[in-house]
Structure 1
């Protein structure tokens, strides 16, 4: 198959079933809700490759505040690999997002590919998984109280997240709070949010994250509260590798490291955020 044998076109909501087929074949954790969130938040930048009316590849590019495009879901059907599909998809996305910054979380194999596109490494993230969480008692929350997120808290959470992540993710944060309210918790001090945790369902695991907090103690309290509701369920948490105390606590609960991701940026890193206060990410497809 040559490049002329497949076409590229925008990835739309009507393509979610075909996109799910690709992600499920790879054993990834995304749901139809995740795909919808990515497509709705991309402002038309998500793209797919099609051959004989069959979807053979995808790439998403969720748009954060017209400042940052977050690349994810780079998938190609196994039968069509090695034929330039992923390069065509990425070239297309990079061209359509060339006026804003671009970042992503790459697998080790993907890291080498993205380096060829001029991406640079920022930091590492460990994917920690538990196939059946048995307890959530390994965190010392030091008496820190958590509260369920209320609709009126969303604006402050978006602002807190923007400082930590580097730019506003209002659509993402609002959607997660509304779709998964039972997984959304905050810590407040002197009537101000000092940390939050969100989460979502998955096709294989419940995903916990993002977790952003002013201190490690606040992060631990939030993670403990989130995991409390996931006992006897499969769980995945993507933790920044420099948060070794958090990783050690997860390991003591039976979590194991499945793989790592490399956060990367193209060109200049205009939106570094405050990695010190970032403990767990929302997942490599969302950042």
Structure 2
């Protein structure tokens, strides 16, 4: 396919529009164009729970650039899946889309996970790194037992009756209202587990399908031992490789345990924020995001 050259000024005139579920395949095509997995299942959740932005390619072949913003009220929004088609890369169109998103966000604090390639642009746009995360992947081996949680702690499959308690615990630890995302979790995830002690919910975690893996997230727990118990229970429910993202500074012990069980680092990302010093909530009990694309 021959693409007629367009100036950056011409690209700057292309309209930015909201994406819908009808754009799912175009978003997956854009992922594939940049060497990412298509991840149609994840795109479906993000477009349903968040707001997608995109610019149609002037050659009529799908999207030139896209991203998704997941809002958690006036206190926080997460930016993810920022992609530019290879044939339009390094021509300012991604920066233009990000500028539009920042304008739309106004005073709302923002967060995102950045690769080493994307970090310089985000720093120019006012984002600062607050943590580093390790992306891990591998088949869980059960070679290293989980640490013993506090006496009386049990882990079991979640039921519909657990949802209100999950939402209350998440609001306390995440620090922002994720109701519109988490209420989709029972249908979105293949496995959802809760930990409880003395009749009180002390953690929850999920596995959801993404290509040939199961993504572990979100993972919320009162302490590292409960987090390990949830992971072990979820790992026993699947024969797929696990994939997850863990804060390497705050949760190094969990990362060490995962690596001892065959789940190794495949990449690093920077957790960045704009217009706030750090994320709300309690990062000591927030072990893994649902997906880095949603913060």
Fold similarity call, TM over 0.5: yes
Distance 1:267 1:39 in 2: 25
> 1:286/1:136 Cα in 2 relative to 1: closer, same or farther (>3 Å)?
farther
**Is this contact kept in 2: 1:59–1:71, CA < 8 A?**
yes
Q: Which residue of structure 2 lines up, in the alignment, with residue 218 of structure 1?
A: 226
Paired residues for 1:167-246 under 5 Å: 167-180=176-189, 182-231=190-239, 233-241=240-248, 242-246=250-254
User: CA-atom RMSD, angstroms?
Assistant: 1.8
Any gaps of 5 or more consecutive residues in structure 2?
Answer: 1-5
Any gaps of 5 or more consecutive residues in structure 1?
Answer: none
Deviation string 1:244-287 (CA, Å, 9 cap, x unpaired) is 22111111122221111211111124742101111122221012
Deviation string 1:169-205 (CA, Å, 9 cap, x unpaired) is 112111122222x421011112111011012110242
Query: Which moves more between the two structures, 29-38 or 54-63?
Result: 29-38
**Is this contact kept in 2: 1:29–1:204, CA < 8 A?**
no
TM-fit CA distance, 1:137:
4.7
Q: Tell me whether 1:157 sits opposite 2:166 in the alignment.
A: yes
Distance 1:15 1:3 in 2: 26
**Is this contact kept in 1: 2:207–2:216, CA < 8 A?**
yes
> 1:126/1:169 Cα in 2 relative to 1: closer, same or farther (>3 Å)?
same
Distance 1:204 1:89 in 2: 31
Deviation string 1:103-131 (CA, Å, 9 cap, x unpaired) is 1111122222111111112211111111x
Q: Which residue of structure 2 lines up, in the alignment, with residue 120 of structure 1?
A: 128
Residue from 272, 276, 280 that aligns with 1:268: 276
**Is this contact kept in 1: 2:65–2:84, CA < 8 A?**
yes
> 1:195/1:149 Cα in 2 relative to 1: closer, same or farther (>3 Å)?
same
TM-fit CA distance, 1:235:
1.7
Distance 1:274 1:251 in 2: 24
**Deviating runs (4+, > 6 A) in structure 1?**
none
**How does the TM-score come out when normalised to structure 1?**
0.91
Deviation string 1:29-83 (CA, Å, 9 cap, x unpaired) is 56333222212222xx421111233311101101113432210000011111011
Report SS of the residue matched to 2:183: helix
Residue from 38, 44, 48 that aligns with 2:54: 48
Give the greater-gyration-radius structure (CA): 2
Report SS of the residue matched to 2:210: coil
Distance 2:259 2:202 in 1: 25
Deviation string 1:1-29 (CA, Å, 9 cap, x unpaired) is 22424332111111110100112334445
